Amino acid sequence: MKIDTMRNVDYFAGIPLCFLATLLIRFINLFAGKKIRHPEKVLFIELSEMGSAILADPAMRKMQQAGPTELYFLIFKSNAASLRLLNTIPEAHIFTIRADGLLTLTVDSLRFLFWVRQQGIDTVIDLELFSRYSALLTGLSGAVNRIGFHAFHNEGLYRGDLLTHRVAYNPHLHIAKNFIALVNAALADRKELPFSKTLIDDSEIRLARAEVSENAIAAMQDRIHGEYPLYDQQRHRIVLINPNASDLLPQRRWMPDYFVAVMRALLADSDEVLVLITGAPAEREEAEILKQRVGHARCINFAGRQRLEELPALYRIAAMMLTNDSGPGHFSAVTDLRTFVIFGPETPRLYGSLGNSTPIYAGLACSPCVSAANHRKTPCTDNVCLQVIQPAMVLESLRAALQQNRSA
């Protein structure tokens, strides 16, 4: 299903459905009374952003450490592989929803409402920022504890009143800390309005590291050798280039001409550099066009040559990565890979990687132009915020990193 179609369904169907669900839950509460209890079986909902599944991991681990707690997760099927990078959630505890059409979305939503009751989920934590769809799934889940972000006196983005713990989303706080605030609300021993009146230290949002076996690393090196037979793991330093960004916000894509200029310059600098253009299988054709434009034997189209869960092995053997503000910037954070992330319509202060990452951000007066308040939809069709980030500026940082890598 197209992104704008999903936004329209969320708006035109979501508002009346949230209103009706609110009336239903208030009616049920007249007879059910208050049942809030300490979380034991906790379901997290994060549907549409693969990177957010990584940013939510510190919150999930905090919940796990708070007591004998079982964790579950609800996510769109196309994004489920992101949960396998750290394996915090057991595979059997992950429920996926297909978002390729309205019919499958409806069928899977109904299946979920049966599944969540079968599992005996007592706590649902909605990580989505004001999605009415996730609010409905949370409200109708049957869980006695329902935690999520609430608009309070903010204008727009009505989601009904379906929560037992209403948390104030803080647009000045990194999203990973906002996720921790949701967990703090679930663990609170008294009611607050709004939740969560807690101090969240930077140490709370440190990511765990992915476990990568020597066999996985060797297999990845063999795959690279298959694409470039002259690959010498002792000599070559691999530079990963991710020129893609999700369809949710295409304005995040740095100019292809700029990527080409950077790759050509790095390859000209040293015959030790091996450039791999990464991406999903569907992005292989676009990666091939970039490769042909670079026109160098040590520039390899590696898009679609690895599954998402195999990325940590690739990141372990690479020297560094340059990427748009998209999933790979967060996926690399589960390793020590030096990563440079180009930001434009969004800000690294809220969505920056939690890993060994350096944001590259112009900070124009119009940036960031997307937020939770506008459903991450911008009228901009001329992303000057990225155009002003010239290849020379990026190359300065990359060359310094490569020099440090050589010295290490």
Q: What is the pLDDT of residues 54-91, one digit of tens each?
A: 999 999 999 999 988 999 999 999 999 999 999 999 99
Are 115 and 95 in contact by the 8 Å Cβ rule? The answer is yes
Nearest in space to 269 (alpha carbons), one of 203, 218, 319, 230: 319
Same fold, 3-205 and 214-407: yes
Class of domain 3-205: alpha beta
Are 357 and 108 in contact by the 8 Å Cβ rule? The answer is no
Q: How many angstroms separate the CA atoms of 350 and 175, rounded?
A: 6
**Full-model pTM:** 0.94
Class of domain 214-407: alpha beta
Are 227 and 300 in contact by the 8 Å Cβ rule? The answer is yes
Are 200 and 184 in contact by the 8 Å Cβ rule? The answer is yes
CA atoms within 13 A on the CB side of 208: 17
- Write out the two tokens for 218: 């060797």
Per-domain residue ranges of the chain? 3-205, 214-407
Task: Give the distance, in angstroms, between the CA of residue 76 and the centroid of all CA atoms in the same chain.
Answer: 12
* pLDDT tens-digit map of 25-48: 998 888 876 576 789 999 999 998
Instruction: Please give the pLDDT value at position 156.
Output: 65
Phi/psi region, residue 337 (left: phi>0; alpha: psi -120 to 50; beta: rest), is beta
Nearest in space to 312 (alpha carbons), one of 231, 232, 214: 214
Q: How many angstroms separate the CA atoms of 324 and 181, rounded?
A: 28
In the block, tokens 């949370």 appear at 138
Amino acid at the residue 226: G
Instruction: Please give the pLDDT value at position 71.
Output: 98
Are 312 and 323 in contact by the 8 Å Cβ rule? The answer is no
Instruction: Please give the pLDDT value at position 34.
Output: 59
Are 147 and 123 in contact by the 8 Å Cβ rule? The answer is yes
Residues in the chain: 408
Q: How many angstroms separate the CA atoms of 269 and 266, rounded?
A: 5
Instruction: Please give the pLDDT value at position 113.
Output: 97
Q: What is the pLDDT along the chain (408 residues), one digit of tens a residue?
A: 777 788 788 888 889 999 999 999 998 888 876 576 789 999 999 998 889 999 999 999 999 999 889 999 999 999 999 999 999 999 999 999 999 999 999 999 999 999 999 999 999 999 998 789 999 999 999 999 999 999 888 766 788 999 999 999 998 999 999 999 999 999 998 999 999 999 999 999 999 999 999 999 999 999 999 999 999 999 999 999 999 877 777 788 999 999 999 999 999 999 999 999 999 999 999 999 999 999 999 999 999 999 999 999 999 999 999 999 999 999 999 999 999 999 999 999 999 999 999 999 999 999 999 887 777 788 888 999 999 999 999 999 999 999 888 766
SS3 readout for the chain:
CCHHHHHHHHHHCHHHHHHHHHHHHHHHHHHHCCCCCCCCEEEEECCCCHHHHHHCHHHHHHHHHCCCCEEEEEEEHHHHHHHHCCCCCCHHHEEEECCCCHHHHHHHHHHHHHHHHHCCCCEEEECCCCCHHHHHHHHCCCCCEEEEEECCCCCCCCCCCCCCEEEECCCCCCHHHHHHHHHHHHHCCCCCCCECCCCCCHHHHCCCCCCCCHHHHHHHHHHHHHHCCCCCCCCCEEEEEECCCCCCCHHHCCCHHHHHHHHHHHHHHCCCEEEEECCCHHHHHHHHHHHHHHCCCCEEECCCCCCHHHHHHHHHHCCEEEEECCHHHHHHHHCCCEEEEEECCCCHHHHCCCCCEEEEECCCCCCCCCCHHHCCCCCCCCCHHHHCCCHHHHHHHHHHHHHHHHHC
Query: Any bridge partners for residue 74, and if so which?
Result: 45, 95
